[in-house]
A = this chain, B = another copy of it.
Amino acid sequence: MGSPSAAPWKQLLLNALESNKHSSFFQLATISSNGRPANRTVVFRGFQEGSDKILINTDSRTRKIEDIKHCPFGEICWYFTDSWEQFRINGRIDIIDGLNPDPVKLQQREKAWFASSLKSRLQYFGPGPGLPCVNEEPCKENLLDPYIGPIGAFCVLVLDPEQVDYLNLKSNKRLMFKSKQSGDGEQSWVSEEINP
Protein backbone atom coordinates (compact mmCIF):
# COMPACT_ATOMS: atom_id res chain seq x y z
CA MET A 1 0.00 0.00 0.00
CA GLY A 2 3.06 2.30 0.36
CA SER A 3 3.54 3.09 -3.32
CA PRO A 4 1.33 5.81 -4.80
CA SER A 5 0.56 3.55 -7.76
CA ALA A 6 -1.16 1.18 -5.34
CA ALA A 7 -3.94 3.65 -4.45
CA PRO A 8 -6.79 1.21 -3.76
CA TRP A 9 -9.46 3.43 -5.38
CA LYS A 10 -7.58 3.66 -8.67
CA GLN A 11 -8.54 0.19 -9.86
CA LEU A 12 -12.21 0.92 -9.09
CA LEU A 13 -11.94 4.06 -11.21
CA LEU A 14 -10.18 2.26 -14.08
CA ASN A 15 -12.92 -0.41 -14.00
CA ALA A 16 -15.63 2.26 -14.11
CA LEU A 17 -13.91 3.99 -17.03
CA GLU A 18 -13.78 0.72 -18.91
CA SER A 19 -17.42 -0.20 -18.35
CA ASN A 20 -19.00 3.21 -19.06
CA LYS A 21 -19.36 4.99 -22.38
CA HIS A 22 -18.93 8.75 -22.59
CA SER A 23 -17.32 8.76 -19.18
CA SER A 24 -14.31 10.95 -19.85
CA PHE A 25 -15.74 14.09 -18.23
CA PHE A 26 -16.55 15.08 -14.69
CA GLN A 27 -17.48 18.14 -12.64
CA LEU A 28 -14.75 20.11 -10.88
CA ALA A 29 -15.70 22.31 -7.92
CA THR A 30 -13.47 25.13 -6.74
CA ILE A 31 -13.94 28.21 -4.56
CA SER A 32 -14.18 31.58 -6.29
CA SER A 33 -12.41 34.65 -5.01
CA ASN A 34 -15.84 36.00 -4.00
CA GLY A 35 -16.11 33.08 -1.56
CA ARG A 36 -18.78 31.20 -3.47
CA PRO A 37 -18.48 27.69 -4.85
CA ALA A 38 -17.93 27.25 -8.59
CA ASN A 39 -18.57 24.10 -10.60
CA ARG A 40 -18.00 23.13 -14.22
CA THR A 41 -17.61 20.14 -16.50
CA VAL A 42 -14.06 19.32 -17.58
CA VAL A 43 -12.42 16.52 -19.54
CA PHE A 44 -10.30 13.82 -17.89
CA ARG A 45 -6.89 13.73 -19.59
CA GLY A 46 -5.54 10.70 -17.76
CA PHE A 47 -3.21 10.25 -14.83
CA GLN A 48 0.18 11.82 -14.51
CA GLU A 49 2.76 9.20 -15.45
CA GLY A 50 3.54 6.86 -12.59
CA SER A 51 1.15 8.54 -10.17
CA ASP A 52 -2.52 8.87 -9.18
CA LYS A 53 -2.64 12.57 -10.01
CA ILE A 54 -5.44 13.58 -12.36
CA LEU A 55 -4.76 15.74 -15.42
CA ILE A 56 -7.08 18.41 -16.85
CA ASN A 57 -6.29 20.81 -19.70
CA THR A 58 -7.61 24.34 -19.45
CA ASP A 59 -7.29 27.89 -20.70
CA SER A 60 -5.30 30.15 -18.39
CA ARG A 61 -7.83 32.91 -19.10
CA THR A 62 -10.74 31.01 -17.50
CA ARG A 63 -12.11 31.94 -14.10
CA LYS A 64 -11.07 28.61 -12.58
CA ILE A 65 -7.38 29.61 -12.74
CA GLU A 66 -8.16 32.66 -10.64
CA ASP A 67 -10.16 30.42 -8.26
CA ILE A 68 -7.31 27.93 -7.84
CA LYS A 69 -4.72 30.66 -7.30
CA HIS A 70 -6.97 31.98 -4.55
CA CYS A 71 -7.75 28.55 -3.03
CA PRO A 72 -5.74 25.58 -4.38
CA PHE A 73 -8.25 22.86 -3.47
CA GLY A 74 -10.79 21.18 -5.69
CA GLU A 75 -13.33 18.39 -5.56
CA ILE A 76 -14.09 16.28 -8.59
CA CYS A 77 -17.52 14.68 -8.76
CA TRP A 78 -17.44 11.91 -11.31
CA TYR A 79 -20.69 10.09 -11.87
CA PHE A 80 -20.80 7.04 -14.13
CA THR A 81 -24.29 6.81 -15.57
CA ASP A 82 -24.12 3.22 -16.81
CA SER A 83 -22.68 1.57 -13.71
CA TRP A 84 -24.24 3.97 -11.16
CA GLU A 85 -20.92 4.70 -9.48
CA GLN A 86 -19.78 8.02 -8.07
CA PHE A 87 -16.25 9.12 -7.19
CA ARG A 88 -15.76 12.30 -5.18
CA ILE A 89 -12.07 13.12 -5.36
CA ASN A 90 -10.74 15.90 -3.16
CA GLY A 91 -7.23 17.28 -3.39
CA ARG A 92 -4.81 20.09 -4.06
CA ILE A 93 -4.49 21.43 -7.59
CA ASP A 94 -1.23 22.47 -9.18
CA ILE A 95 -1.32 24.80 -12.20
CA ILE A 96 1.26 24.24 -14.94
CA ASP A 97 1.31 27.23 -17.26
CA GLY A 98 3.98 28.39 -19.70
CA LEU A 99 5.76 30.41 -17.03
CA ASN A 100 6.34 27.43 -14.74
CA PRO A 101 10.02 27.38 -13.68
CA ASP A 102 10.19 23.57 -13.48
CA PRO A 103 11.48 22.07 -16.77
CA VAL A 104 9.89 18.67 -16.00
CA LYS A 105 6.47 20.31 -15.59
CA LEU A 106 6.95 22.31 -18.79
CA GLN A 107 7.65 19.04 -20.56
CA GLN A 108 4.41 17.57 -19.15
CA ARG A 109 2.57 20.61 -20.46
CA GLU A 110 4.07 20.15 -23.92
CA LYS A 111 3.13 16.48 -23.85
CA ALA A 112 -0.46 17.35 -22.91
CA TRP A 113 -0.63 19.86 -25.77
CA PHE A 114 0.47 17.39 -28.42
CA ALA A 115 -1.79 14.68 -26.93
CA SER A 116 -4.87 16.85 -27.54
CA SER A 117 -6.61 17.13 -30.91
CA LEU A 118 -5.99 20.01 -33.32
CA LYS A 119 -9.58 21.09 -32.70
CA SER A 120 -8.95 21.26 -28.93
CA ARG A 121 -5.74 23.21 -29.47
CA LEU A 122 -7.55 25.73 -31.65
CA GLN A 123 -9.75 26.81 -28.72
CA TYR A 124 -6.73 28.41 -27.08
CA PHE A 125 -6.32 30.75 -30.05
CA GLY A 126 -9.89 32.03 -29.60
CA PRO A 127 -11.01 35.13 -27.73
CA GLY A 128 -10.85 35.16 -23.91
CA PRO A 129 -13.43 32.75 -22.41
CA GLY A 130 -16.18 34.47 -20.42
CA LEU A 131 -15.65 37.88 -21.99
CA PRO A 132 -18.49 39.59 -23.86
CA CYS A 133 -18.67 38.49 -27.50
CA VAL A 134 -17.35 40.93 -30.06
CA ASN A 135 -17.37 40.21 -33.79
CA GLU A 136 -15.21 37.14 -33.70
CA GLU A 137 -13.33 35.61 -36.56
CA PRO A 138 -13.01 31.94 -35.70
CA CYS A 139 -9.50 30.61 -36.14
CA LYS A 140 -9.42 28.05 -38.93
CA GLU A 141 -8.20 24.55 -38.22
CA ASN A 142 -6.20 24.31 -41.41
CA LEU A 143 -4.20 27.36 -40.36
CA LEU A 144 -2.91 25.66 -37.22
CA ASP A 145 0.59 24.27 -37.55
CA PRO A 146 0.43 20.82 -35.88
CA TYR A 147 4.11 21.08 -34.93
CA ILE A 148 3.75 24.33 -33.00
CA GLY A 149 4.07 23.78 -29.24
CA PRO A 150 1.69 24.99 -26.51
CA ILE A 151 0.66 28.64 -26.72
CA GLY A 152 0.48 30.98 -23.74
CA ALA A 153 -3.17 30.35 -22.89
CA PHE A 154 -2.71 26.59 -22.55
CA CYS A 155 -2.23 25.17 -19.10
CA VAL A 156 -2.52 21.87 -17.31
CA LEU A 157 -4.14 21.30 -13.93
CA VAL A 158 -2.81 18.44 -11.81
CA LEU A 159 -5.11 17.34 -9.00
CA ASP A 160 -3.38 15.31 -6.30
CA PRO A 161 -6.06 13.18 -4.59
CA GLU A 162 -6.10 13.21 -0.80
CA GLN A 163 -9.55 11.75 -0.22
CA VAL A 164 -11.79 9.63 -2.44
CA ASP A 165 -15.41 8.98 -1.51
CA TYR A 166 -16.67 6.07 -3.61
CA LEU A 167 -20.36 5.22 -3.87
CA ASN A 168 -21.87 2.30 -5.75
CA LEU A 169 -25.63 2.79 -6.08
CA LYS A 170 -26.19 -0.71 -7.46
CA SER A 171 -24.65 -2.52 -4.49
CA ASN A 172 -25.43 0.38 -2.13
CA LYS A 173 -21.82 0.29 -0.87
CA ARG A 174 -19.76 3.33 0.00
CA LEU A 175 -16.04 3.41 0.71
CA MET A 176 -13.98 6.29 2.02
CA PHE A 177 -10.31 6.36 1.06
CA LYS A 178 -7.94 8.73 2.82
CA SER A 179 -4.32 9.42 2.03
CA LYS A 180 -1.85 9.35 4.90
CA GLN A 181 1.68 10.71 4.86
CA SER A 182 4.03 8.72 7.10
CA GLY A 183 7.00 10.20 8.95
CA ASP A 184 9.39 9.41 6.08
CA GLY A 185 7.13 11.18 3.56
CA GLU A 186 5.79 7.93 2.10
CA GLN A 187 2.15 8.14 1.04
CA SER A 188 -0.32 5.40 1.89
CA TRP A 189 -4.09 4.99 1.80
CA VAL A 190 -6.53 3.84 4.45
CA SER A 191 -10.07 2.87 3.58
CA GLU A 192 -13.27 2.33 5.50
CA GLU A 193 -16.76 1.24 4.57
CA ILE A 194 -19.26 3.95 5.50
CA ASN A 195 -23.03 4.27 5.31
CA PRO A 196 -24.32 5.36 1.88
Contact = CB atoms under 8 A, between A and B. Distances in A.
Q: How many copies does the complex hold?
A: 2
A77 B130 contact: no
B81 A130 contact: no
A107 interface: no
Interface stretch (A5-13, A49-57, A188-196): A188-196
Contacts of A75: 29, 36-39
Interface in A13-47: 22, 25, 27-31, 35-41
A125 interface: no
Most buried by B among A39, A73, A88: A39
A137 interface: no
A22 B195 contact: no
A31 B39 contact: no
A77 B36 contact: no
Interface string A154-168: 000000000000000
Contact of A88 (B39, B81, B127): B39
Q: How large is the interface on A (under 10, 10 to 19, 20 to 34, 35 or more residues)?
A: 35 or more
Given A132-B194, A194-B132, A79 B25 contact: yes
A155 B41 CA distance: 27
A41 B79 contact: yes
A74 B29 CA distance: 10
Contact of A27 (B35, B39, B130, B192): B39
Contacts of A31: 31, 35-37
B40 A86 contact: yes
B195 A86 contact: no
21 contacts: A28-B39, A30-B37, A31-B31, A31-B37, A35-B71, A35-B73, A36-B75, A37-B71, A37-B75, A40-B77, A81-B81, A128-B195, A129-B194, A130-B176, A130-B195, A131-B194, A131-B195, A132-B193, A132-B194, A132-B195, A133-B193
